[in-house]
Structure 1
Amino acid sequence: MATFKLNISDKKGKTITKEVKDKDAGPFLGLTIGAEVDAALVGEAGKLKITGGSDKSGVPLREDIHGGARKYIMLSKGVGLREAEKGQRIRKLVRGNTVSEEVYQLNCFYDGELKVEEKPAETEEKKA
């Protein structure tokens, strides 16, 4: 089965990372970018909206390419292209907008407020 690393962010800018495996990852298969899922799958109340992701080798998901296959496309701006000069187009490898077993990371937006656990500050004892 599939394993996904979910990066979940909220409207305040807080982000948490959760990993879902096997049966928990099943409901994500076949969804497209922009689809909403119940957040109970990751232990929260509310909705999760899929906003993007990447596959095992780092190839990004692109919303305007249908299906789950990898394709080389000409890009002048947008997801999958960092910088291009005015008028410049570059052929880049991107993956379609459908979540498949090859996808490794999913970026999600949570409609509520996340509870971020803060790590306690480590105190060092000074030795004399």
Structure 2
Amino acid sequence: MVNFKLTVSDKKGKSISKELKDSDAHPLVGLPIGKDTDAAIVGLSGKMKITGGSDKSGVPMRQDVHGSARKYVMLSKGVGLQQAEKGQRIRKLVRGNTLSEEIYQINCKFDGELPVEQAAPEETPADAKEEKKE
């Protein structure tokens, strides 16, 4: 049973979230970070590029660690390391660059522009009071 939360962003900074389950998510299993895939699985036309992700406990994926296992890696900068002073290296837990069933969230970059969804107009409190009087 595979469940992914997919966050798809475009070049302008807009993003959408989709949840993929079982048969919809299986085409993504085994793909590495940086691979292009079809955006039809989230209902878009075009291509999207996998840029990263994390597992259920928040351990980030890192592109230069091969496989899908969790590993302790000596880091000096980049994904998985928030702040390091010059010359400092820290051993941190990261996950490999291949999508597996343990991955929870996947980040993607869409090559086009995401469609703008029209939100329904919300009621104001004044409108609700008038309806009660009638």
Q: TM-score range by the shorter chain?
A: over 0.9
Secondary structure of 2:57's aligned partner: coil
Aligned residue identity for 1:6: L
State which structure, 1 or 2, has the greater radius of gyration over its C-alpha atoms: 2
Does residue 76 of structure 2 align to residue 71 of structure 1? Answer: no
Task: Give the corresponding residue for 1:42.
Answer: 42
Aligned residue identity for 2:66: H
Whether the 8 Å contact between 1:39 and 1:46 is mirrored in structure 2 is yes
> Cα deviations across residues 9-67 of structure 1 (Å, max 9, x unaligned)?
00111000001100000000000000111111111000010000000000000000000
- With the length of structure 2 as denominator, give the TM-score of the two structures: 0.90
Secondary structure of 1:125's aligned partner: helix
Task: Give the corresponding residue for 2:87.
Answer: 87
- Identify unmatched segments of 5+ residues in structure 1: none
Shift of 1:121: 5.2
Shift of 1:118: 4.4
Shift of 1:116: 3.1
Aligned counterparts of 1:63 and 1:119: Cα–Cα separation in 2? 37
Task: Give the corresponding residue for 1:117.
Answer: 117
Whether the 8 Å contact between 1:34 and 1:51 is mirrored in structure 2 is yes
Paired residues, number = 128
- Identify unmatched segments of 5+ residues in structure 2: 130-134
Percent of pairs with identical residues: 69
State how 1:45-56 maps to structure 2 within 5 Å. Answer: 45-56=45-56
Greater mean deviation of Cα atoms: 118-127 or 47-56 = 118-127
Task: Give the corresponding residue for 2:22.
Answer: 22
Aligned residue identity for 2:87: G
Greater mean deviation of Cα atoms: 113-122 or 68-77 = 113-122
Whether the 8 Å contact between 1:16 and 1:116 is mirrored in structure 2 is no
Task: Give the corresponding residue for 2:100.
Answer: 100
Secondary structure of 2:13's aligned partner: coil
- With the length of structure 1 as denominator, give the TM-score of the two structures: 0.94
Aligned residue identity for 1:35: K
Aligned counterparts of 1:93 and 1:121: Cα–Cα separation in 2? 46
Aligned residue identity for 1:71: K
Aligned residue identity for 1:82: Q
Aligned counterparts of 2:60 and 2:13: Cα–Cα separation in 1? 22
RMSD over aligned Cα atoms: 1.4
